[in-house]
Structure 1
Amino acid sequence: MQKKLKYPHLVGSKWTAQQKTWGWRHFQVVNRKNQGKFVFAEMVASCDPNVRFWTNAKILKNPSEWQAGWQTLHEMRETEEIMGEY
C-alpha cells in the first residue's frame, strides 16, 4: 500500500502573503520537495519569476501569514475583519 501524499495539490496552487515577501504578495507553488517528515514548496512571485524561495508547506496553513488563492488588499482586509469578530 502506498503512503498517503501530504499536500497532494501543492504544485500549481496560488497564495497571497499577508505581508510583502521579497517585495511581492502573490505567489505560485512551482515545485515541492519532501525531506524526511517535512514538505517544502518552491514559491515564485507571480509578477517576477526571478523571485523564488523555498518554504515549509506547513507555513502556508497559517492564515496570519498566507491566504489560499490570490487575494486583493480589499479582500484581505475583509477577511481580517471577519476573523476579528470571532
Structure 2
Amino acid sequence: MARKQKFPHLLGSKWTAQQKTWGWRHFQVVNRRQEGQWVFAEMVASCDPKVRFWLNAQQLKDDLLWRSGWQPLQAMERDEEDQIALK
C-alpha cells in the first residue's frame, strides 16, 4: 500500500504572511522538495518573482505565521482587532 503524501496540494497554493517577509506578504508555492520526513516549499513573492526562499512546509500550518490564500490587508487587521477584543 502506498504511503500518504504529506502536503499533497502544496504546489501552486497561495499564502499570505502575517508579517512582511522579504518586504512582501503574498506568496505562491512553485516547488516542493521532500528530504526524509521533512517537506519543504519554495515560496515566490507574487509581486516580485526575484524574491524566492525555501521553508519547512510545516510552518504553513501555523496561523501566527501564515494564512491560506491571498488575504487583503484590511481583513488581517480586522482579525487582529477581533483577537485583541477577545482577550
Does TM-score exceed 0.5, indicating one fold? yes
**5 Å matches for 1:18-29?**
18-29=18-29
The residue aligned with 1:72 is 72
Q: Deviations over 1:34-53 (max 9, x none)?
A: 01110000000000111000
**Which amino acid in structure 2 is aligned with residue 68 of structure 1?**
S
Question: SS of the counterpart of 1:67?
Answer: strand
Query: How much has 1:76 moved relative to structure 2?
Result: 0.6
Query: How much has 1:82 moved relative to structure 2?
Result: 3.5
Distance 1:17 1:33 in 2: 21
Aligned length: 86
Consecutive unaligned residues of structure 1, counting only runs of 5 or more, are none
**Which amino acid in structure 2 is aligned with residue 8 of structure 1?**
P
Distance 1:7 1:24 in 2: 24
Verify: 1:61 aligned to 2:57, yes or no.
no
Question: SS of the counterpart of 1:59?
Answer: helix
TM-score (norm 1): 0.93
Query: How much has 1:78 moved relative to structure 2?
Result: 2.0
**Which amino acid in structure 2 is aligned with residue 62 of structure 1?**
D
Question: SS of the counterpart of 1:71?
Answer: coil
Distance 2:36 2:78 in 1: 38
Distance 1:81 1:58 in 2: 26
**Which amino acid in structure 2 is aligned with residue 71 of structure 1?**
Q
Distance 2:36 2:82 in 1: 37
